[in-house]
Amino acid sequence: MQDEATQIQLQTLQGIRVPVQISSASQEIRVSPTQSLAPGTYVLRIQDRSGVYARKIVIL
């Protein structure tokens, strides 16, 4: 569950942030880009009290 200490970012490999809308329900967090994503690789970065998690996402 997302709280004030949780930060979620989506960015390109060049470090450009992509605006996202974040919603949560129960144990699920949904991250939706507010604009169309061009094909390529993006990094989803989640930081909370227990650490930082990053995953690459490929858009075809």
**Is residue 1 included in any domain, yes or no?**
no
Which pLDDT tens digit goes with each residue over 40-58? 999 999 998 999 999 999 9
**Is residue 55 included in any domain, yes or no?**
yes
**Is residue 50 included in any domain, yes or no?**
yes
pTM > 0.85: yes or no? no
**Is residue 2 included in any domain, yes or no?**
no
**Is residue 44 included in any domain, yes or no?**
yes
**Is residue 17 included in any domain, yes or no?**
yes
> What is the domain count for the chain?
1
**Is residue 37 included in any domain, yes or no?**
yes
Confidence grade of residue 24 (pLDDT, cut at 50, 70, 90): confident
Range of the domain at 37: 7-59
Instruction: Name, in order, each residue with C-beta under 8 angstroms of 41's C-beta and a sequence gap of 6 or more.
Output: 12, 13, 56, 57, 58, 59
